[in-house]
Amino acid sequence: MGTTNTDLNLVRAFIAIYETGSVSAAAQRLNLTQPSVSYALARLRTLLHDSLFTRTRTGMEPTFNASQLYETFRQALDRIEGVIAATQNFVSGTSNRCFRLALSDLGELYFLPRMIERLQSVAPGVELEVVQLDVEKAADWLNTGHIDAAVGNLGFVGGQARRRRLFTETYSCLVSRKHPRIKKMLSLEEYVGAKHVVGASSSGHNLVDDAMVEMGLSRKVILRVPHITNLSEVVAHSDLVLTLPTRIAKAFSDEGLVRVLPLPIAIKPFDVNLYWQERAADTSAQNWFCNLIADVLTAV
């Protein structure tokens, strides 16, 4: 194959299908229509005299020949796009690029105001689209280009995703200042016997329950909600206990109706990280965005 722009687009389509396992996901990554990607695949099949992929229940399964071609194509495209990207500098002050960032609802509450303030200051034309973080999907979102970055405690993220620690966090408990039983301290017995409210498990905050299981304990959950950013009022006017990251708990307590108490369970502090996947064709813009996130959030 030559190195015309058309040929490069065919290679890009091949790589996207190979890495995502789906024509539709490849189209989403490349910002193309699904018929366009299907047409590119058909052309490649004709040029290479191979079916390249077989459609299965779990996705597009590469043929032996496709698997052999992938590394060659991937390395060649990275070199070509890297050379092109090196000549193109991202100018944040005049850009209208849209970045997509995955955040939990707590991240939206605590991080987003700080990020928007910085963006408005240094890149007023840049758009930011926030995607609700789902720890089970984050790796795939990074791989397919559905998001540019994610912030959270995602544990192991495979593939080519990279990680940068932003800060270390702990957990605390939030209770009403008028709680009928819990006063200035919270014992383990009181914590186990209390009524609890918890958020969606998709946000990744499962360390407390994991620690309790190891201790042979469990807690009584009487309220489950998809988002916990608006729960300070619920906690303030009830006897519920809300366990959440300490920074967020302290932000809620500033309202004066709730107070922060130490979690009576020994849990190792956890890292809040920035996750991204490098893309040769967008290196300058991506580096700028990730550096901005890191600069803003390491200071919180």
Q: 77 lies in which domain range? A: 5-86
Residues 107, 151, 300: CA angle, nearest 5 degrees? 60
Residue that is written with structure tokens 């890495």 in the block: 19
* Contact partners, residue 166, CB within 8 Å, separation at least 6: 151, 271, 272, 273, 274, 293, 294, 297, 298
Q: Tell me whether residue 54 is in a domain.
A: yes
Please report the pLDDT score of residue 204 as a whole number: 55
Please report the pLDDT score of residue 1 as a whole number: 40
| 149 and 185 together in one domain | no
Express each pLDDT in 230-289 by its tens digit.
788 899 999 999 999 999 899 888 878 899 999 999 888 989 999 998 775 567 888 899
Report field, pTM of the whole predicted structure over 0.75: no
- Contact between 280 and 77 under an 8 Å Cβ cutoff? The reply is yes
Q: Tell me whether residue 238 is in a domain.
A: yes
| 249 and 176 together in one domain | yes
- Contact between 29 and 144 under an 8 Å Cβ cutoff? The reply is yes
| 256 and 186 together in one domain | yes
Q: Tell me whether residue 38 is in a domain.
A: yes
The span from the CA of 84 to the CA of 23, in Å, is 26
The total domain count for the chain is 3
Please report the pLDDT score of residue 13 as a whole number: 92
| 81 and 140 together in one domain | no
Please report the pLDDT score of residue 160 as a whole number: 67
Please report the pLDDT score of residue 171 as a whole number: 93
Q: Tell me whether residue 156 is in a domain.
A: yes
Please report the pLDDT score of residue 41 as a whole number: 94
Q: Tell me whether residue 92 is in a domain.
A: no
Ranges under pLDDT 50 in the chain? 1-4
| 161 and 285 together in one domain | yes
CATH number for the domain harbouring residue 102: 3.40.190.10
- Indicate the residue among 52, 86, 120 that finishes a domain: 86
Please report the pLDDT score of residue 137 as a whole number: 87
Please report the pLDDT score of residue 3 as a whole number: 44
| 196 and 255 together in one domain | yes
